[in-house]
Structures are given as C-alpha cells and as structure tokens.
Structure 1
C-alpha cells in the first residue's frame, strides 16, 4: 500500500478529481510534483438555480462578476437543466437530485448562493456549510422561503406582493446582482451558440432581407401571452412587404400553428429541433420577435435585437441590453402574472397591433 505521506498530491488543483486520474495525467502523464498545468483553486462557490430554463439562462451574467470578484474561483452550479448551461465555462455542473444534494451537503464552500424560493433549494442552502450565504434559505419554524440576509429583501418582497412587483423598476439581472452584494454593470449573458456543431441551415432563405425569427408560442402556463393566428398572419405579410424574411420558430406545441402560418404566407419554417440546434437556429436570425418565454431569454443571450411582446409582466423586469424594444397592447393589461384573462374573451394581446410590432422591427433591424 503506497504511503500518501511520501507522495505529492496537489488536491487543491482545479484538475484534481480524487476518484479517477485528472485530464493532464491521463492525456500527458503529468504528475503533481512537476506538473506544468498545476492551478490551485481560489474560492469555491456554489450557485443554486434550479429552473426554469429561461431563468437559468438569465442568471449566467453572474458568472462574469464572480470570476472578477473571486479570481481563480471554482464554481459549482446545481440545476434541473444542466444542458442549457455553457459547458467549459463552469467547473462543475450538477443535476439536482438526491445524490447531488447529499454530495453537496458533505462539502464546504466559501460562498453559497441560492436564487430559488422552492423549498428544496432553500432547505439545501440552510444545510450548506459555507463561509458566506446569499439569497433564500428555509425558515425552520414553518418551512417557508426566507431571505438569508437583508440583501435578499428587495427581490424577496417583489415576489410575494403584487403591488411591490408592479412598482419595481429594476430588471431581474440587476436584482440578483444586488442580492449577491454586487452592483450591476451591464454584464452580458454567458451562453453557447452551438455554432461549432456544424448544423446544416442550407434550407434557410438567403439573399433576401434580414431574417426575422417569429417565436409563435409561449408555453402553457401563462396563456394570456398568446397572440392569435390572425395577428401573426398580419405581421408576416407586413414583414414580407417591408422587405424582411420571416422565419417561424417554435417547438412541438407550436408545430401545427407554424405549419398553418407557413401554408398561408409562404414564410420559412424548418420544423422542430433539439434544444442545442434550436439555439443555433435562433443564432442565424438578424432579429427575433417573441413573447416572454424561453426563446426571449435565448435571444437576449445570443445578443440579438429582441422585439418583446409583453402584457402580463412588469416590463422593467426585462433588460434587452439596448438591443430591440418592448411592445405592449394599446389596451392596459389588468391580469398581472395571471395565466388566464380575468375579463374573459381573447384578452388584451389582441389589442397589440401588428403595425406596432413591425415598427419595432424596423427600428431595431433596418432593411439595408
């Protein structure tokens, strides 16, 4: 049995695995005493942001500030959707399950951040051994989510009182930066375009006007955001007349609608794709029209001009980074954060004219 006291092991190196050989050893045969790529880890940081996918995407600007504030840090991110995170930009990405929670509770971190109010996420932060904690923990007396310190008060309160949420004028990214004790300086998202995958987009229209992606769905939770087929038909026709090339976007839930719209207008529609390929398809657009949904977060992350159709959410919540515009119905929405219109009928999204969306497209993506 080897005597570990006589063997140099750089267990503080970011390449060290503990259960299997590290990559430098496996690929180059390097040993710890004279390893040329030995890199000791600085602060160890745990970031808990489980879901949904869009919220995970718009949390990635934090990575830039954490790297700046903690040079040489080792970041562990716990999430329900590991595939959406930029591989190679985060040292350790863990899917949230019992094994990961058990593993994390046996470790110690310099900083632990929880941005979710789900009880399981709050309970994990409560039990974590960390020098500094930010975000939300679990109040042990009654098991409710609770701010771990005063920095989390603002974001916490806007989430539990509609009146405060309506009055809020801070975008989400600024709120989570302040929750962690940082000022927001316009840090961009950290995201993978998947351009290196070599996807074949030869069926995309070329040589015409700017390609404008039209994301026609919004999921099944907040259906008050939906625009009717008639409105999409109007917009597509107006875009084509103005010299743009509309490209229909969506998933399985939007497939039937997009096929109808394609048949009626001749707009491009390539079908549905796995998430990485869908992201890369959006990357081929010159601008994107979307409701508040996953495609919106992807569009912002890809730094595309984003024309955001919004009705039920506080528009101050969204930071388009100076690219694009937010357009809202001419009729004021009275269904703040509601999935169905309390007035009945088609809802206020039908009071968003296609001409208004077209004007925002023209301002954000001019036809040369």
Structure 2
C-alpha cells in the first residue's frame, strides 16, 4: 500500500493531483488561496509516463513530437522526461511535460522509488538503457540494459530500430522517418506532429527585434542553417567547399 495514501490528515490533501508539489504550495493556492478541500482545479493523475531521451540536442527536440500522441492516447497523462543538463532549456517550457529531470544522483534516487505505468526509451546508449532498466513500470518500450551489460529491446516495435543500429545495410534501406519509427517503438498509432520548441516571451521578442532590423528587414522568409555536428557523426558536418 502506498504510505502517502494510508496516512490520514485532519484536512484533505490531494497528493494524487497533477498540481501537487509536496515541498511547497501549488500554483492555485498561491494565486487564489484555495485549499485541497475546496479546490475546483483538482485533477487526479491516472497514468504516469517516463520518457528517457538524454541527447543529442537535435534528437531530444525531434523526440518531443511524440508528446501530443501520448497525451491524446492516454488522455492527459502525467509525463516525466529525463535528459542531460545541456538539453534542459529545450524542454523547460514544454506544455506537455509535468516533470523534467536531469541525469544526476537525485534522479537516480527518484527512479528507484517512483512508479510509472509506462517507460519509453528510444536510445540504445547504455546510460539511457540502464535508466530504463532501473525505472519501475508496468510496461517498458524501447531499450533496456541486461545484468550482463548488454542492450536489448523490450518490445517487438523496437526490434527494427535495434537491428538497424547494428547493421548498416538495414539502415541504408530504411525509408521510415524518425517519427514513424518512434511511434512504432512506442506501440502508438502513427500521427504526424512537429517537434515542440516552447519559447518564452523574452526569447520571442528578442528574435523579432533581430529580424526587424539589419539585413533581414526586407526579407519575407529567413532560413537558418546549423552547419555544425557532434563528434560521433563527423560526416554530418558540412564542409566550406560544399557551399
């Protein structure tokens, strides 16, 4: 039995509410002064989902396309995302996320305690696979790590991606998009959604001011190209001679 549910308080406390924080007042108490016993914003969490996607930044961003599908399929689930420190800003304002965790000792402790209905890990990297194996969940999709230290696929939907990671010939023949493979891995019906990059008002204003002046002033459309790349895939870095 959940000790948090077993304990009795003299006043009503909805620890299962989406907005319950535990270590400080919820936003509605701060804004309106309401208490759990008379709050009209109470929204119990029915499904808890953990997404593990650590990097790289571009992969993290495009993986956010699955969030609207999860929200629609599971009817407004509570979604926790684990990622590296360098990717936190990409996800910080995402409206589909209820909790954002950095890969550190605190997160390892939480994963050994918290329980989820579903864990999704689309990465075959051992660090991600180990986190998926460590997490407590009724169902797991994607990849985990065995006691022998080998990465394995949790479900049939992840097998194709796993094999493509091991065989270049299969990867070259693949005609599915990343989004299609991600839905397949997660056992979700395919739906096309763009990546979600939520900007603050300050960031939007700064971008608008930059585009309003200088050489962009009379341009109807501006396309930005990032010619860089990580050390793992050096051939993705476009050369000066290629322009």
- Please indicate, yes or no, whether the TM-score normalized by the shorter chain is above 0.5: yes
The secondary structure found in structure 2 opposite 1:207 is: coil
What is residue 8 of structure 1 aligned with on the other side?
A: 12
Calculate the TM-score normalised by the size of structure 2.
Answer: 0.86
Counterpart check, 1:217 vs 2:228 = yes
Counterpart check, 1:123 vs 2:130 = yes
Instruction: Return closer, same or farther for 1:33/1:123 CA change in 2, 3 Å cut-off.
Output: same
For the aligned residues, what is the CA RMSD?
2.0
Counterpart check, 1:44 vs 2:48 = yes
Q: Which runs of 5+ in 1 are unaligned?
A: 233-368
What is the distance in 1 between the residues matched to 2:136 and 2:223? 48
What is residue 240 of structure 2 aligned with on the other side?
A: 229
What is residue 80 of structure 2 aligned with on the other side?
A: 76
What is the distance in 1 between the residues matched to 2:195 and 2:227? 24
Instruction: Return closer, same or farther for 1:158/1:21 CA change in 2, 3 Å cut-off.
Output: same
CA deviation after TM superposition for structure 1 residue 56, in Å: 0.4
Aligned length: 229
On the 8 A contact 1:117/1:145 being kept in 2, the answer is yes
- The structure whose Rg is larger is 1
Calculate the TM-score normalised by the size of structure 1.
Answer: 0.58
CA deviation after TM superposition for structure 1 residue 193, in Å: 4.4
**Aligned partner of 1:190 among 192, 196, 199:** 196
Instruction: Return closer, same or farther for 1:144/1:187 CA change in 2, 3 Å cut-off.
Output: same
For 1:95-106, what aligned pairs fall within 5 Å after superposition?
95-106=102-113
CA deviation after TM superposition for structure 1 residue 87, in Å: 1.0
Counterpart check, 1:158 vs 2:169 = no
What is the distance in 2 between the residues matched to 1:170 and 1:156? 14
Once structures 1 and 2 are overlaid, which stretch shifts more, 11-20 or 83-92? 83-92
**Aligned partner of 2:176 among 167, 170, 179:** 170
CA deviation after TM superposition for structure 1 residue 17, in Å: 1.0
What is the distance in 2 between the residues matched to 1:74 and 1:126? 20
What is residue 141 of structure 2 aligned with on the other side?
A: 134
Instruction: Return closer, same or farther for 1:230/1:185 CA change in 2, 3 Å cut-off.
Output: same
CA deviation after TM superposition for structure 1 residue 196, in Å: 4.8
The secondary structure found in structure 1 opposite 2:138 is: strand
Once structures 1 and 2 are overlaid, which stretch shifts more, 195-204 or 155-164? 195-204
On the 8 A contact 1:49/1:56 being kept in 2, the answer is yes
CA deviation after TM superposition for structure 1 residue 208, in Å: 4.7
Instruction: Return closer, same or farther for 1:82/1:207 CA change in 2, 3 Å cut-off.
Output: same
What is residue 109 of structure 1 aligned with on the other side?
A: 116
What is the distance in 1 between the residues matched to 2:193 and 2:12? 40
On the 8 A contact 2:52/2:83 being kept in 1, the answer is yes
What is the distance in 2 between the residues matched to 1:43 and 1:227? 43
Q: Which runs of 5+ in 2 are unaligned?
A: 1-6
What is residue 94 of structure 1 aligned with on the other side?
A: 101
Larger relative contact order (Cα-Cα within 8 Å, sequence gap ≥ 6): 2
**Aligned partner of 2:37 among 24, 33, 36:** 33
What is the distance in 1 between the residues matched to 2:23 and 2:200? 31
CA deviation after TM superposition for structure 1 residue 65, in Å: 0.6
What is the distance in 2 between the residues matched to 1:121 and 1:224? 24
What is residue 296 of structure 1 aligned with on the other side?
A: none
The one-character-per-residue Cα deviations of 1:329-368 (angstroms, maximum 9, x if unpaired) are: xxxxxxxxxxxxxxxxxxxxxxxxxxxxxxxxxxxxxxxx
What is the distance in 1 between the residues matched to 2:20 and 2:35? 11
For 1:177-326, what aligned pairs fall within 5 Å after superposition?
177-194=183-200, 196-197=202-203, 198-199=205-206, 200-201=209-210, 202-208=213-219, 210-232=221-243
The one-character-per-residue Cα deviations of 1:241-298 (angstroms, maximum 9, x if unpaired) are: xxxxxxxxxxxxxxxxxxxxxxxxxxxxxxxxxxxxxxxxxxxxxxxxxxxxxxxxxx
